[in-house]
Amino acid sequence: MTDVREISKRPRPTGSPENALSRSYLAEKMRQLGMEVSEQAAPLPPESVERLSKWGASNAATAQLVNLIGVLPGRDRARPALLMMAHHDSVWESPGAPDDAAGVAASLEVVRALKARGTPERDVVVLLTDAEEIGLDGAEAFFQSHPLARRTGAVINMEARGGGGRTAMFETGRGNARWIDLYRRSVGRPSSNSLAVLIYELMPNNTDFTIPKKLGLPGFNFAFIGKAELYHSPAATAEALDQGSLQDMGDQALGVAAALAFASELPGSADNAVFGDVLGLFVVAYPAAMGWAILLAAAGLLGLAFARARRSGAVSFAELGGGVVTALALLAHSALILNVANRISGSAGGPNYYDRLAALPRLESQALLICLACLLLACIVVRPAARLLAAAPAAALLMLGLILGSANPLLLGLALASAVTAILSPGTAPAPGAGGSA
Ligand SMILES: [Zn+2]
């Protein structure tokens, strides 16, 4: 925490005096750890200059990015090096204790811990990039032109998109089966699953890890995302940072870093694995093909159950179809309700992204209350006599959604799906003749 406190006293955007100040503090720390320290300066691309001047930097046009690089020599310097990466710059108005002073401090702490275990087999490089926040420019400059980039065999990146919560290993290189196996064996309290990896790949978000990953380099990307209100916020101070998250990041990074630094060979590339931690205790991993086999087996068993139930006359095809349509109606309505609730919370007015992040706890309780209200409503609503009336909730939600924002395809599609499935759904009305009324 000492390093986090020291460098996150003030914001340190690229080109600022604070950026240079924290860099010289970090260079001194690296020297004390016995590392060979150097800097790499590079010009900023035009888009980044524009961004910097939009933030209010008066020297944007002449500002340079400066990466800080430390090398802990290994026993065999010809072996591919292990690169630990974090960015030392922050956004304009945030002290950036979590993002990414935490990653910077964790990488130095990992080097200290590795050194205490002896001389690693390979060089351990700490790359503290600059200008991550304005466009991953420091990582780009390093992997494009620095001689050490060609000697890199594995990358561990550390990031934050919030100020707390567990640190997750949410991204790997391609063909990760052997790397997941190494993570499984070397991390005491794991937090990772292949679904998170898949979802992250589908999202437009980037970190410095994007650059080496594009070059086909393997490795691990770690980040914590709890306390989202601290993301790029002026309130992201060292005091606000959850120290447990920092410890968790250091623990997991040290686990894989030690396994890689002291191994005679790095794991090779293989197929992708399906994996997940079980309550943070251990990791279960298996080949993707086995996932399909499990799905097929489940489908087969369901089919068998239906065939037996049908033979005994307990259920018909029509009833099965009705059940499926009702389930789809529930799903479509849930999605429609969440979409409209999102509009009610003010999403249509082009709100500030960070304000929305800060409002997350309130938005979550709103969503919970809306869901509870719908559940209560569902309990008291009796199926209407006229089938068309079943589409009334979807129509009402659509109207509300349109009043609160524009007619986007998602809203229209969800409303249509909800209406159609509701009309086709057999519902839960008592069969004719059953029950009675006065
Ligand atoms: Zn960051």
Q: Read off the pLDDT of residues 7-23 as tens digits, 9 standing for 90 and up.
A: 999 999 999 999 999 99
CA–centroid distance, residue 218 to ligand 1 (Å):
20
CA–centroid distance, residue 87 to ligand 1 (Å):
7
Least confident interval from 246-250, 395-399, 413-417, 434-438: 434-438
pLDDT of the residue at 427: 61
Mean pLDDT of the chain: 88
**Per-residue pLDDT band at 436 (split at 50, 70, 90):** very low
Q: 0.75 exceeded by the pTM?
A: yes
CA–centroid distance, residue 198 to ligand 1 (Å):
20
CA–centroid distance, residue 397 to ligand 1 (Å):
38
Better pLDDT: 389 or 277:
277
CA–centroid distance, residue 114 to ligand 1 (Å):
24
CA–centroid distance, residue 89 to ligand 1 (Å):
8
CA–centroid distance, residue 375 to ligand 1 (Å):
40
CA–centroid distance, residue 157 to ligand 1 (Å):
10
**Do 90 and 36 touch, CB atoms closer than 8 A?**
no
CA–centroid distance, residue 161 to ligand 1 (Å):
7
Quote the tokens at residue 56: 């209010």
Question: Can you tell me the distance from the alpha carbon of 229 to that of 187, in angstroms, rounded to the nearest whole number?
Answer: 29
pLDDT of the residue at 158: 97
Question: Can you tell me the distance from the alpha carbon of 59 to that of 151, in angstroms, rounded to the nearest whole number?
Answer: 34
- pLDDT tens-place string over residues 168-197: 999 988 888 899 999 999 999 999 888 887
Question: Can you tell me the distance from the alpha carbon of 243 to that of 224, in angstroms, rounded to the nearest whole number?
Answer: 12
CA–centroid distance, residue 240 to ligand 1 (Å):
16
Helix (H) or strand (E) holding 285: strand 282-287
CA–centroid distance, residue 259 to ligand 1 (Å):
25
Report the 10 Å Cβ neighbour count for 385. 7
Residue type, 197: V
CA–centroid distance, residue 390 to ligand 1 (Å):
48
pLDDT of the residue at 377: 76
CA–centroid distance, residue 207 to ligand 1 (Å):
7
**Do 13 and 19 touch, CB atoms closer than 8 A?**
yes
pLDDT of the residue at 302: 92
CA–centroid distance, residue 300 to ligand 1 (Å):
46
CA–centroid distance, residue 112 to ligand 1 (Å):
23
Question: Can you tell me the distance from the alpha carbon of 169 to that of 249, in angstroms, rounded to the nearest whole number?
Answer: 9
**Per-residue pLDDT band at 252 (split at 50, 70, 90):** very high
CA–centroid distance, residue 98 to ligand 1 (Å):
8
CA–centroid distance, residue 138 to ligand 1 (Å):
12
Edge-first strand listing for the sheet containing 36-43:
36-43, 64-72, 124-129, 81-87, 152-160, 219-226, 164-172
